[in-house]
Amino acid sequence: MQKIKVILNRVVFVIIIIFIVLLVIESESSIRNFLGIELKDEVIEQNEVQEENIKREKVEIEAGFAGNINIDNSKMNIIFFDVGQADSTLIICDNIVTLVDAGNTYDGKNIVKGIKSLGIERIDYLIGTHAHEDHLGGMSYIVDNFDIGNFYMPFCSSNDFSFYTRLISSLSNKNIPINRVEVGNEFLLGNGRLEVMGVSNDEPENLNESSITLELSYGTLKYLFMADAEIANEECRTWNDVDVLKVGHHGSNSSTSQEFLNQVLPEISVISVGKENDYELPKENVLERLENIGSNIYRTDLDGTLQIISDGEKNEVVKIDVSFDG
Ligand SMILES: [Zn+2]
């Protein structure tokens, strides 16, 4: 009888210990969740899985690769790279360099070569608007080949595409943290100012709706970059009258509503779109809406890479016959 009692006591003791251990594990994960460090763990886990499979490449600079792109350092320069059916925009203002998106995976090397041939080695603000391949595909090449100031993109937990895990790995490799933005955040670009107009870090089902949208102010001029934001995003807020609109979602009909355009009224519209793309973008009715408000439309499929040079009072648009499409 005494023996059974001792055994029972030991069983109860072991159960209590297991219970305490489980309690500690559970509370630790709650604390970690509360502190928001769960993402970092995901980064490390994904990195461990991917690291062995990734052959890191340094892209060589080819002088003159960027064709006739000439940067006027006394002015604001915005370059919409022709990256086919994708997005990549370089902003240089007072020697501060911002890159918004980096095309498809196969465009990455070309974008690196193009930017390097402009004599740029550091990107101060690197922004991935949302976790789709036509925006983040080439981003790991950028991270691998430049000195990066700060990196920003919306929260995305469930993307297991290779371009994304490769990017996470590249960031982790250089100890570059992923920063989140909120509406109203500002980035100072010398005399220019970039303001976050929209973003969702709640991982919406349609990742286009997570897009970071940005308004750039320089002198008396304003520029609005809509990434792949949808009409739902356009309806979320009011918008300023701007001079240049980087048209949302490659000219898709799910963006650029009449109500939105009535507020934005851009003199110049830029559409980043692939030649004879499968989606038949830009859509005819979007072009009509832009024409009806008197906007001058430029398209990377027809005009190639586009550079806007601004002194803060007027914009000069330069068409450059060079493609970065991989
Ligand atoms: Zn897109």
- pLDDT at position 10 is 76
Residue 99 covered by a domain: yes
Instruction: Please report which confidence band the pLDDT of residue 109 belongs to, taking 50, 70 and 90 as the band edges.
Output: very high
Q: Identify whether 310 is part of a domain.
A: yes
Phi, psi torsion values for 323, nearest 5 degrees: -115, 140
- Buried b or exposed e, range 7-40, using 16+ CB within 10 angstroms: eeeeeeeeeeeeeeeeeeeeeeeeeeeeeeeeee
Confirm whether 188 is domain-assigned.
yes
What separation in Å is there between the alpha carbon of 174 and the centre of ligand 1? 27
Mean pLDDT, to the nearest integer, of 75-81? 97
Instruction: Examine residue 25 and state whether it is found in any structural domain, yes or no.
Output: no
Q: Is residue 27 part of a domain?
A: no
Residue 249 Cα, ligand 1 centroid: separation in angstroms?
5
Q: Average the pLDDT over each of 66-75, 217-226, 290-299 and give the range with the smallest value.
A: 66-75
The closest of 226, 208, 207 to 157, measured between CA atoms, is 207
How much distance in Å is there from the Cα of 127 to the middle of ligand 1?
14
Pair type for strands 296-299 and 268-271: parallel
Provide the pLDDT for residue 271: 98
In the predicted model, is pLDDT for residue 56 greater than 90?
Answer: no
Closest CA to 155 of 163, 164, 147, 146: 164
Q: Average per-residue pLDDT in the chain?
A: 87
**Residue 27 scores a pLDDT above 90:** no
Residue 75, domain member (yes or no): yes
Expressed in angstroms and rounded, the spacing between residue 213 Cα and the centre of ligand 1 is: 13
| Beta bridge mates, 268 | 244, 296
State mean pLDDT over 215-219. 98
Consecutive H or E run containing 317: strand 315-320
CA of 138 to the centre of ligand 1 (A): 13
Q: Could you give phi then psi for residue 292, rounded to 5 degrees? A: -65, -25
User: Does residue 66 have a pLDDT over 80?
Assistant: no
Ligand 1 centroid to Cα of residue 135, in Å, is: 6
Residue 227 Cα, ligand 1 centroid: separation in angstroms?
Answer: 7
56 by DSSP, 3-state: which?
coil
Query: What is the CATH classification number for the domain harbouring 118?
Result: 3.60.15.10
- Asked whether the CA dihedral 251, 252, 255, 259 is positive or negative, the reply is positive
> What is the token pair recorded at 240?
């300023």
At 19 the pLDDT is 56
pLDDT digits (tens, 9 = 90+) for 134-151: 999 999 999 999 999 999
37 CA to centre of ligand 1 in angstroms: 29
Sheet of 268-271: strand order equals 186-189, 192-198, 213-218, 221-225, 244-246, 268-271, 296-299
Residue 108: strand, helix, or coil: helix
16-25, 49-58, 107-116: the lowest-pLDDT one = 49-58
Is 28 a member of any domain?
A: no
C-alpha 126 to ligand 1 mean position (Å): 17
Tell me, in angstroms, the distance from the centre of ligand 1 to residue 98's CA.
Answer: 19
Q: Which residues contact 53 (CB under 8 A, 6 or more apart)?
A: none
Provide the number of structural domains found in the chain: 1
Distance in angstroms (rounded) separating the CA atoms of residues 326 and 317? 24
The alpha carbon of 202 and the centre of ligand 1 are apart by a number of angstroms equal to 19
The residue segments making up the domain with residue 210 are: 36-320
Report the pLDDT value the prediction gives residue 289, as an integer from 0 to 100.
98
The DSSP bridge partners found for residue 315 are 310
The band of 13, judged by pLDDT with boundaries at 50, 70 and 90, is low
pTM: 0.82
The answer as to whether 86 is a domain residue is yes
Report CA(133)–ligand 1 centroid distance (Å): 8
